[in-house]
Amino acid sequence: MPRTCVKRAFKYRFYPTDAQAAELSRTFGCVRKVYNMALAARTEAWARQERVNYNQTSAMLTAWKKTEELAYLNEVSSVPLQQTLRHLQVAFTHFFGKRAKYPRFKSRKKSRKSAEYTTSGFRFRDGKMTLAKMSEPLDIVWSRPLPEGAKPSTVTVSQDAAGRWFVSMLCDDPTVKPLAATDTAVGIDVGLDHLLTLSTGEKIANPRHERRDRARLVLAQRRLAKKAKGSANRAKARQKVAKVHARIADRRRDVLHKLTTRLVRENQTLVIEDLTVRNMVKNRSLARAISDAAWSEFRSMLEYKSQWYGREVIAVDRFFPSSKLCSTCGTLAEAMPLHVRTWTCDCGTTHDRDVNAAKNLLAAGRAVTACGAGVRPQRRTPGGQSATKQETHGATRGISRL
């Protein structure tokens, strides 16, 4: 069965004119307004034990546009307004399927500013993108070319907290094809001292992007705290803080993309640990460092790139004692405090803690492949909180492997 092309988003920065920026800002506001009104209508219907679907909210939108109070909705393109109703429908579908929480209202200050256009809402010709209600094409910085012959099926325009404008084009990418199969496999142990430790013995340093810019971030936040609420100077100071955060996030994402691409290209099987990062960041002593390492983002990139290129990612059960188990003889040590970075087994083998853990993960991943074992569901502690494995639970008590 032939494989279909991979849907891939290509994101570019662009610089709008004053008229385009005003039009897009109005569109963002209308999108948020329609989403919140539709959510309120569906919530009221839910209280009456009734269900409202996308078609009904679409009819509501038509009625809203005819009112004097909401006539301004006619000033922007109808495509993003219809798309936000579809997004709300998807949110409710996930809620009813118990895959997500109940949809929340969009905040004017905190929600993401974005608008999605389908093919009827934009024109893409000769490398120029023109959105509906606009006479001039967007001034896009083409940092990389689109795949040859690619035609965007969806375009999403957004503005981040730092004030930067981006356009994301969803296209079929025929260049993404499965790589030639190899017999290489690698175990990957994540950490804080080193970002990654591979079963081959290689250790990848933790860049600690947030720590490198912490002084600049602290200064910007201190200046923001001194500005009067609602003032223009406070808005400027807030944007400076957002720029520092954006710089940190951009560098972190760049490093993770390079690492995951390299690992996927070099290995057929990649074995990682199924860590509950959501629970681990509740530890106040390690939350900042864990968030800066971005383990969840690393795993997400590794998984979708492996799917693209025909590789396999295996997640080993989080309760597997990878650090305390001797990778040579299989002896399980009774305790392994955090400060112990090297240890000697009874068999005489001296282990580096992280390398040993990566080797054990690789062996466990191969066992999963051979036996068909899966990852056990998350279990609960008597106090109701999610439990993590001994090596990551209670790191401040000296038993964490991080």
The one catalytic residue among 116, 189, 210, 292: 189
CB contact burial 321-333 (16+ within 10 A = b; e otherwise): ebbbbbbeeeeee
CB contact burial 230-243 (16+ within 10 A = b; e otherwise): eeeebeebbebbbb
The yes-or-no answer on residue 317 being catalytic is: no
The one catalytic residue among 23, 116, 354, 391: 354
The one catalytic residue among 116, 210, 273, 391: 273
- 234/112 Cα distance (integer angstroms): 20
CB contact burial 100-126 (16+ within 10 A = b; e otherwise): eeebeebeeeeeebbbbbbeebbebee
The yes-or-no answer on residue 273 being catalytic is: yes
Dihedral sign, Cα of residue 187, residue 190, residue 195, residue 201: negative
- 298/82 Cα distance (integer angstroms): 33
Dihedral sign, Cα of residue 367, residue 372, residue 375, residue 380: negative
The crossing angle, in degrees rounded to 10, of helices 18-47 and 54-65 is 120
Instruction: Tell me how crowded residue 246 is: count the other CB atoms within 10 A of its CB.
Output: 16
The yes-or-no answer on residue 352 being catalytic is: no
Catalytic residues: 189, 273, 354
